[in-house]
Structure formats: structure tokens, C-alpha cells
Amino acid sequence: MRKSKPNSWQRALYAPRSGPGHAHGTAQIRRGQATFRRTSNGAEIFALPRFIATPTQQTYHFVVTDFEIAHLYPSRRRLLFETQRLKAELLSVPDLDLVIRLNNACCDFFLFQNGLPPSEADAREIFEFIPARSGGATKLPIGIFLSEELIGVMDVLRGYRTASEWYLGFMLFAPSFRSQGFGTEVHSEFVSHARRAGALRLLLAVLEENESARRFWLRLGYRKVKGYPPKPFGNRFHACTEFEMVL
């Protein structure tokens, strides 16, 4: 698929599916909002919030976001940066099942934070959740791949409080890939990527009880900004500390 010019129409084939808003053929696609799910022989469009044209000769007009256009097919993920061992690629909704499987492997993290095992809603947050009062922030869901295996994710918000601030919601690796230097390796290239994209400040929050995470971020060069009182995380309450890195 050729990269589109801003606001231009794009074409993509998607797999047949029965039900409202689905058919087989060619989809005319442009920027906006919709949701995609990957299939073995293409991409299947589902959950269409805005149907903006009448079907004519199996041609349908939908509105989708930039990263969904770019990732109708798994081989089309955009490479954001890479390390000696890993690749960081832009995830999109078709990768939801990959994120669900990774979250299930990281059940210890969700039990610690939320007191609950991971759910599909937790996986969707990496694509959808933007905190209140985040202005014009946009999601940057990053998948960390070893060969073709998703071994980690980074939940990033660009333009969190100001246009030049990025917020790192979390960086999570599967248990079998922890304590091997992958986090430090990925973060180093992530910082370079953020700088190239115009970021001047990185922010993140650490749960007060998560002492190992606190040591990790301090070792990478972050400094404490301020603390926040306890708030609910699933079935638990946690106080948090905000950290920053000035780029």
C-alpha cells in the first residue's frame, strides 16, 4: 500500500464478513475514525462510527485514523526505531490480540497494580485511553518485537500537557525477557526517537510500592517532580510519584 498524502483517499482490500456495514470488495478509506481487525487474508472492517457514503458496486467509504490506515496488514507496521536486538513498531487496533496475549503473560503486573487479571479493556487502553485534561494529546502505541514476536509494549502520549511533552504510561516486557537489559536498550533509542520528533520533556508516574521501577527510572536519568495522593487502580489504591527527563 502506498503512503497517502494528507487527507487523500486510500484503497485497501478487506475480508468478507456478514452483518451490518460489512461486505467484500474494495474500501475507499480516508482519515478519521473507525476500527479494524486483522484476518488471515487481509483486514476486516468492523465497528464503524461514521459511515460517510452509500455503497456503490461494492465500494464503501469509511473514515479511519492515520495509524489504522498504515496498519491494515501486519507486515505494514511502521518501524519507529530499532536497537541491536529489537525493533519498535507502531501498533494499531489489528494488533489487539497480540497485546492481549502479552498482557496475559504479564498477569503479575496487572495483579500488582489493579488487584485483577488483565482484561480486553486493559489491552484497548493502549490504543484508546487519553487522560482528562491532556489537551491535544495523541496516542503512540509502541510494540517491541524480537523477530516477529511481541515481547513488550510502550504506552506513550504525545503532547501530554504541552506539544513538546511526552508521557510514558508504562513500558512492559514479558517475564521471560525481563532483567536482560532490554528495557534500558529500548529506552535509549526511544529517547532519541522522541528528540527527533520534537519532544523536549518525558514524563512518567511510578506507583509508590514499586521500588524496583523507581530505581530503574532513576538509573536512566529521571528525576522526581512531585508526589500524588492515593487514587483507585482497579480494586486497589496507589499513591504515585511523577518523574521527568528533560531532553
User: DSSP letters of 81-150?
Assistant: EE-SS-EEEE--GGGHHHHHHHHHHTHHHHHHHHSS---HHHHHHHHH---TT-TT-EEEEEEEEETTEE
| pLDDT range class, residue 11, cuts 50, 70, 90 | very low
Q: What is the mean pLDDT of residues 159-166?
A: 92
User: Residues 209-240, buried b or exposed e (16+ Cβ, 10 A)?
Assistant: ebeebbebbeeeebeeeeeeeeeebeebebeb
Pairing of strands 138-146, 25-31: unpaired
Domains and CATH numbers, the chain: 10-70 (no CATH), 77-246 (3.40.630.30)
For 95-126, what is each residue's pLDDT tens digit? 999 999 999 999 999 999 999 999 999 999 99
Q: What pLDDT score does 130 carry? A: 87
Judged against a pLDDT cut of 80, whether residue 20 lies above it is answered with no
Q: What pLDDT score does 133 carry? A: 74
Q: How far apart are CA 190 and CA 196, in angstroms?
A: 10
Contact 156, 168 (CB under 8 A): yes
| pLDDT range class, residue 16, cuts 50, 70, 90 | very low
Set of cell numbers at residue 104: 496475559
Establish how many alpha carbons lie within 13 A of residue 187's alpha carbon, considering only the half-sphere containing its beta carbon.
21
